[in-house]
Amino acid sequence: MHGATTPEQLVLAWFGEHERDLPWRRTRDPYAVLVSEYMLQQTQVDRVVPRYLRFLERWPAVESLAGASTADVIREWQGLGYNRRAVNLHRAARAVAESGWPDDLTELPGVGPYTAAAVGNFAFGRDVLPVDTNVRRVLERTGAAFGAGSAQALFDLGAMVCVARIPRCGECPLASLCPSRGQRYEPLRKQSRFEGSFRQRRANVLRAIAAGETADDDEATASLARDGLVVVGEAGPELPG
């Protein structure tokens, strides 16, 4: 990292040596970037990579996804969790196919400020820094300022070095400048257990309905219907068309 002086330069120099090879970093296609951001919202990177590649192989363009049935999209999403994201992604693809990409990306279903900033930066080259949990942690601990071009570097630094509980300060390019160096942290919150939870019941019911099987859980079925993941007709619950 010879010649790097500012925090941003130090991080970018580190990133040049430690960048993770992730498929969505090889494209500026807004559709492909959008798919990755929906999948990454609440799912770990290593689980997303193969599913992302498979999804884009099946639906390589926004128009092809827009033309798919909601049922097929939900089935393809199985195993990624938080299936409502699949419905929102499908709705977003239909909106784009019909009207093009809106200037304000938060107009798309399921797109909040962070996802809008990420797609805006990585696909449209907008000068905005997407701040997710990892980036926010680096910003808060270091007190440093970074531009939009540092986004991917900050993602990797937060995921690999400046981790939540016991940061690896000895590996950090900002260690000599960081006021938080050497600190340890308690977890902010524990994620509720999936095993035995209502989320698991919903997942089991959706999996059964997707397979054409009987789902004997009216409460979970009603919850799925409210989210647009199933429709309940005279013949019983089924995936939306």
Q: Alpha-carbon distance 7 to 86, whole Å?
A: 38
> Cβ contacts of residue 64 below 8 Å, gap of 6+?
none
The one catalytic residue among 8, 17, 19, 37: 37
Kindly give the residue spans of alpha helices, DSSP state H, lying in 26-83: 30-40, 45-58, 62-66, 70-77
CA neighbor of 215 nearest in space, from 226, 201, 225, 205 = 205
Q: Is 37 a catalytic residue?
A: yes
Q: Which of 223, 205, 203 is nearest to 213 (CA)?
A: 205
Q: DSSP label at 103?
A: S
3-state secondary structure of 185: coil
d(CA 32, CA 93): 11
Active site positions, annotated: 37
